[in-house]
Amino acid sequence: MVEVARGGRFRAIAQLLSLVEQDHPQLPEVTAALTPHTAGAVVIGLTGPPGAGKSTMTSMLVSAFREEGRRVGVLAIDPSSPFSGGALLGDRIRMTQHSTDKGVFIRSMATRGHLGGLSWATPQAVRVLDACGFDVILIETVGVGQSEIDIAKLADTTVVLLAPGLGDAVQAAKAGVLEIADVFVVNKADRDGADEVARDLKQMISFGRAAPSAPSWRQPVVKAVASRGEGAEDILDALRDHREWIDSHGELEGRQTNRAAGELESIVLSRLRSELDRLSDETMFSTVARKVARGALDPFTAANQLITALGLAGT
């Protein structure tokens, strides 16, 4: 299956990603087979508040990368929604647009339910696409919040998309994502208020850079109208600039190592959780939990009992 997927068969790639989603027992074996073929694809995160036009922007960027002859894998991740219906619908619409192009693979990922969620499944999925020969991997996420910060840790470059007329959403986004954005894109730049959004952003960026202790990347603010295909070149330039900067400042390796570290920690914790589940079967866990629920035992003492039962040395 790994060989077929690497040969470019989309159905096989999709099956590998399903193994990731399901945390399938065969995943370790598949991952081991994929690892030697990873080639360090460019990983770009795209995020922003609802209504900023993320899907349209993804589509425009995919076309722009394709014009450069690069193969593109898109992972649309909805970490918060209990239902992935929305993402899947958008998926199908976009699949239609790029469906005849063998150099574009688009997939929605549900990360709900995993310990570590996004930080576990996304690096696994990135590895699959990387090993299958995609040059650029675009991780698109829904919403604004903790998930965006998680994405920033996973991508080499994080693009934060804003648009005029989103009111509070933009305000919140500007406040919350300033620290995670590598590149700001103001989409729907033909609408009223776009200049104000761009100006506000630039002001916040210069405030944020007051008395920097180390040489740091100055986030560019790029305007675009994704629905008309305008601004793609500027965005690609900004992405290239950022990549060159992190590469020459030693930050790229740091980001890639952080991504691997998060993944590793998630896998280790996930295994330990399985051990805890095993204890649950042996009634010890639920007995202890009932005592805590009744107030007969405090949870820290209870946790100590469980850790002893797990046989963990050194705690």
Residue 283 C-beta: closest distance to a copy of itself, Å: 12
Task: Name which of residues 68 to 97 contact a copy of itself (CB under 8 A).
Answer: 79-83, 85-86
**Cα(96)–Cα(101) distance, rounded to whole angstroms?**
10
Q: Is 99 or 301 the residue whose CB approaches a copy of itself more closely?
A: 301
Q: Is 23 or 230 the residue whose CB approaches a copy of itself more closely?
A: 23
Angle, nearest 10°, between helix axes 117-131 and 27-34? Answer: 50
**Cα(84)–Cα(305) distance, rounded to whole angstroms?**
39
Q: Is 12 or 297 the residue whose CB approaches a copy of itself more closely?
A: 297
Q: What is the CA radius of gyration of the chain?
A: 22
Binding residue for a copy of itself, selected from 22, 102, 175, 237, defined by CB under 8 A: 175
Stretch that binds a copy of itself, among 5-13, 157-165, 202-210, 266-274 (CB under 8 A): 266-274
Cα four-point dihedral sign 157, 250, 268, 313:
negative
Q: Is 97 or 146 the residue whose CB approaches a copy of itself more closely?
A: 146
**Cα(117)–Cα(307) distance, rounded to whole angstroms?**
24
Q: Angle at the Cα of 259 (from 247 to 62), degrees rounded to 5?
A: 70
Q: Is 167 or 229 the residue whose CB approaches a copy of itself more closely?
A: 167
Task: Count the Cβ atoms, other than its own, within 10 Å of residue 107.
Answer: 21
Beta-ladder partners of 45? 139, 158
Stretch that binds a copy of itself, among 91-99, 172-180, 195-203, 226-234 (CB under 8 A): 172-180
Task: Name which of residues 114 to 153 contact a copy of itself (CB under 8 A).
Answer: 115, 117, 123-124, 143-149
Instruction: Determine if 308 is a binding residue for a copy of itself (CB under 8 A).
Output: no
Residue 139 C-beta: closest distance to a copy of itself, Å: 17
Instruction: Determine if 170 is a binding residue for a copy of itself (CB under 8 A).
Output: no
Task: Name which of residues 268 to 307 contact a copy of itself (CB under 8 A).
Answer: 268-269, 271-273, 275-276, 278, 280, 285-286, 288-290, 292-295, 297-303, 306-307
Nearest Cα to Cα of residue 59 among 226, 291, 250:
226
Instruction: Determine if 67 is a binding residue for a copy of itself (CB under 8 A).
Output: no
Q: Is 8 or 51 the residue whose CB approaches a copy of itself more closely?
A: 51
Residue 50 C-beta-side C-alpha neighbours within 13 Å? 6
Instruction: Determine if 249 is a binding residue for a copy of itself (CB under 8 A).
Output: no
For 131, list phi and psi in degrees, rounded to 5: -65, -20
Task: Name which of residues 3 to 42 contact a copy of itself (CB under 8 A).
Answer: 27-28, 31-32, 34-36, 38-40
Is the separation of the CB atoms in 252 and 259 below 8 Å? no
Instruction: Determine if 314 is a binding residue for a copy of itself (CB under 8 A).
Output: yes
3-state SS, residue 257: helix
**Cα(123)–Cα(118) distance, rounded to whole angstroms?**
8
Instruction: Determine if 208 is a binding residue for a copy of itself (CB under 8 A).
Output: no
| Residues near 59 by beta carbon (within 8 Å), at least 6 away in sequence | 94, 97, 98, 226
Stretch that binds a copy of itself, among 65-73, 89-97, 112-120, 188-196 (CB under 8 A): 112-120
